[in-house]
Structure 1
Amino acid sequence: MIWAESVGGPLALIETSSVGEWTGYEGDYERACAVDFVDVIPFGGDAQALIFGDEPAATAFLPEMDTFVQWMYADPGVDVIRALGTVTDARWETGPIFEISGPLVLLDAALPGADVTLDQPRQDGFGAEALSIDIAPGRYQVESADVQPDEHTCFRLHRFVNEGE
């Protein structure tokens, strides 16, 4: 599992076709930092970014669940999939609607989109600065929940529920 990490700010989920319009620290980053939890912001011409803004937590995508998982705290080396399999009582909070028409990139919101390297761990020891994400095109309700599989582990989940299904 590859984790995306920012160097201290939010992460942005952007369609690949628009990633070059994301200006990062040169403009869009300030608006991304204004997001308290999860929300959609406009940028560029008519593009939108879904911002994970509450915590600068390492984030991975679980394609089999159309869910992003943020590492809040856990013992090093914990098996994330196994830990999430024990969760039965998540309380999902309704978030924004996000429309997807093609492949996506999850990136450190501080970085200009044209400059990111996809799916490669950073040389400074952080996770990847950007991840390729594939979610089927559609209109999605984003729902979020904090889950604690045990007293040593907490993840924040953001799942995408297709409104067309």
Structure 2
Amino acid sequence: MVRYADPGAVEWVESGGGPLIAIPEVVLPFWAGANGDDLSSDYDRACDVDGFFGLLPVGDTWALVLGDEPASTSYLPEHGTFVRWCAAASEDELLSGVPAALATAVWEPEVEWNVPGPVVLFDAAWPGPASERTDHLKVALEPGRYAVRAAYVEPGPETWVGLVQLRRLTR
């Protein structure tokens, strides 16, 4: 995990250039990353996601792929949101713009994601079992159904942020 300040407000996960993926812990062993046959790997499937996010089957559940660009990403539990650092002069500048970004976001259509419990966010190129040896972030989600939506927001003249918000569904 990367920290951009000392001590740093949050932990950030970076990729080597491809998408990040949030995989439920229970199915991490089933994610092969860039390892695979000559035709297609799990990483290739993740790279095929078009847009800000998408869901991919992994084992008997689904993983959340954060697409669009390989931005440094953290999870802010107080907002239920993956925050993607697209542009900002500092971590403080980016994080202070999140409330305004959430309030003014024009959201893409949402999808439903059934989550069996905690997920691990890491570079989709890595195999699931190796995720602890690279940048990763454990996100303590409660089991259940979540609405997932995304937006790209410019809360300041030189601050741009990607948002992927999770909202727990109760119905």
Band of TM-score, shorter chain: 0.7 to 0.9
Is it true that 1:101 corresponds to 2:116 in the alignment? yes
**Partner in structure 2 of residue 7 of structure 1:** 16
**Partner in structure 1 of residue 67 of structure 2:** 53
Structure 1 portions without partners, runs of 5+:
119-127
Question: Which residue identity lines up with residue 147 of structure 2 in the other structure?
Answer: Q
Deviates more, 1:45-54 or 1:76-85: 76-85
Structure 2 portions without partners, runs of 5+:
1-9, 36-40
Give the conservation status (yes or no) of the 8 Å contact 2:22–2:65.
yes
Is it true that 1:130 corresponds to 2:132 in the alignment? no
Measured on the aligned residues, the alpha-carbon RMSD in Å equals 1.6
Q: CA deviation at 1:152?
A: 0.5
Alpha-carbon distance in 2 for matches of 1:160, 1:86 = 17
SS in 1 for 2:142: coil
Q: Aligned ranges for residues 83-162 of structure 1 at < 5 Å?
A: 83-87=97-101, 88-117=103-132, 129-162=135-168
Percent identity reads 38
SS in 1 for 2:129: helix
User: Deviation digits for residues 53-77 of structure 1, max 9, x if unmatched?
Assistant: 1111111000011110001111134
Alpha-carbon distance in 1 for matches of 2:23, 2:97 = 28
**Partner in structure 2 of residue 33 of structure 1:** 47
- Between the two proteins, the alignment pairs up a number of residues equal to 155
SS in 1 for 2:164: strand
**Partner in structure 1 of residue 6 of structure 2:** none
**Partner in structure 2 of residue 124 of structure 1:** none
Question: Which residue identity lines up with residue 109 of structure 2 in the other structure?
Answer: T
TM-score, normalised to structure 1, is 0.87
